[in-house]
Amino acid sequence: MIVGVPKESYPGERRVGLVPMVVPSLVKAGFEVLIEAGAGVEAGYPDAHYIEKGAKILPGRDAVFSVADIVVQVLCYGSNDATGAADLPLLRRGQVLIGFLRPLGSLEVIGQVADTGVTSFAIELIPRTTRAQSMDALSSMGTVCGYKAVLIAAETLPRFFPMLTTAAGTITPARVFVIGAGVAGLQAISTARRLGAVAMAYDLRPSAKEQVQSLGGRFVELPIEAKDAQDARGYGTQQDESFYQRQRELLGRVVAESDVVITAAVIPGKKPPVLVTAEMVKGMAPGSVILDLAAERGGNCELTRPGETVVAHGVTIIGRINVSTGVPYHASQMYARNITAFLLHLVKDGKLRLDLDDEIIRETLLTRGGELVNQRVREFFSQPALVSSGGR
């Protein structure tokens, strides 16, 4: 079974699908690993390191796609809306594609992937279970985003993060407010605390309180209660507009008192709720910073512009997208470990194991035989159920 890793083509993307350290495990399991020349260079992994570990280097992208049984990418077409479509002619029927495909993004794009006949697995659909924990690339990238977000905010803020006692007097610590205490939010709290800031956080899920406090953060409690605050996968659920309006009113005071606000409230497949209004931004002190980790999907701040940094009312609002590529060495390492665990689960004795009784395989399988076969995704897009379950 040949695994091929092409160089990422999304503009500014520095990560790579597999790193040299995982190659021996794959070779031992019977895989042959092919890497496009230069694929890992920007992440800190030169071709020579892959060769040392047992991988082979191929000169071009076409060569990788033409011989690989399994293609591993970070951003496949779907999550790569800039250049991903160029890979469609390179895919072939029966080939396996693994990576971020943004399955709840565009039905048209998924249809284009399905039309190639490729058997694709959307890694963001990995179940959040103990058994699948080692494969959870979404959480891995969330960790990277939370860490990097605080560093970007700290560099932008014209103030110190920690409390300092100096000959010129005592400097009070920065106040960092994190909205959305998922994986990225929790890592942001942890990183802000390490840098010496006072960290506060809010999440509509009551279960997040204990996690925030365990990291030394203060949990902001609001006198409103969300209905069915989280789904079966542990993600926050969408609320009605009256809830968000009341939430914004109550959050306004905390936002106004914060030096840095990091928003990380996303709902899979939905537009992120607006949690920080223009009026709330106006109430913040000049020089304050908002970093919107939901920017790629529209943003949690009303004034966020995806991919841009803007200044409004003296407040810098950072709408950077693809934040995890800013730590490419370890982001690639974590992703490669997740993908390796998935590959070892998916392929046994050199054969693809399409056991749909296996929750991990069933939940991640997106397209097969020219069709969108994932039940959750079909329901999300209101598609009729398939007559056949496709190879059970």
DSSP letter for 354, please.
-
- Catalytic annotation, pick one of 9, 25, 112, 139: 139
285 and 346 belong to one structural domain: no
315 and 342 belong to one structural domain: no
Q: Can you list the alpha helix ranges (DSSP code H) found in 157-277?
A: 183-194, 208-214, 241-256
Full residue range of the structural domain in which residue 264 is found: 145-321
The count of domains in the chain is 2
pLDDT in the model for residue 390: 43
Query: Average pLDDT, whole number, for the chain?
Result: 94
218 and 76 belong to one structural domain: no
pLDDT of 391 strictly over 50: no
133 labelled catalytic:
yes
Dihedrals φ, ψ of 309, to 5°?
A: -115, 125
Residue 386 lies in a domain: no
Higher pLDDT, 93 or 226: 93
Per-residue pLDDT band for 269 (boundaries 50, 70, 90) equals confident
Domain boundary among 305, 321, 337: 321
Q: What is the pTM for the complete model shown?
A: 0.93
pLDDT tens column, 278-301: 999 999 999 999 999 999 999 999
61 and 195 belong to one structural domain: no
128 labelled catalytic:
yes
User: CATH number of the domain that 339 lies in?
Assistant: 3.40.50.720
pLDDT in the model for residue 309: 98
Give me the mean pLDDT over the 330-358 stretch.
Answer: 96
139 labelled catalytic:
yes
pLDDT of 258 strictly over 90: yes
Q: Can you list the alpha helix ranges (DSSP code H) found in 257-356?
A: 278-282, 328-346
169 and 303 belong to one structural domain: yes
- Catalytic annotation, pick one of 69, 235, 244, 358: 235
292 and 331 belong to one structural domain: no
202 labelled catalytic:
no
Per-residue pLDDT band for 96 (boundaries 50, 70, 90) equals very high
- Render 24-71 in DSSP notation, one character per residue: HHHHHTT-EEEEETTTTGGGT--HHHHHHHT-EEESSHHHHHHH-SEE
Q: Can you list the alpha helix ranges (DSSP code H) found in 240-364?
A: 241-256, 278-282, 328-346, 359-364
pLDDT of 38 strictly over 60: yes
272 and 293 belong to one structural domain: yes
Please state the separation of Cα 213 from the chain's center in Å: 24
- Catalytic annotation, pick one of 47, 81, 128, 375: 128
Distance between CA atoms of residues 152 and 183, nearest Å: 18
Domain boundary among 321, 343, 358: 321
pLDDT of 387 strictly over 80: no
123 and 150 belong to one structural domain: no
How much of the chain exceeds pLDDT 90, in percent? 87
- Catalytic annotation, pick one of 14, 79, 136, 248: 136
Residue 387 lies in a domain: no
126 and 152 belong to one structural domain: no
pLDDT in the model for residue 230: 55
pLDDT in the model for residue 37: 98
Q: What contacts 298, CB < 8 A, 6 or more positions away?
A: 271, 272, 304, 306
pLDDT of 241 strictly over 90: no
**Helix axes of 137-156 and 183-194: crossing angle, nearest 10 degrees:** 40
Residue 392 lies in a domain: no
51 and 66 belong to one structural domain: yes
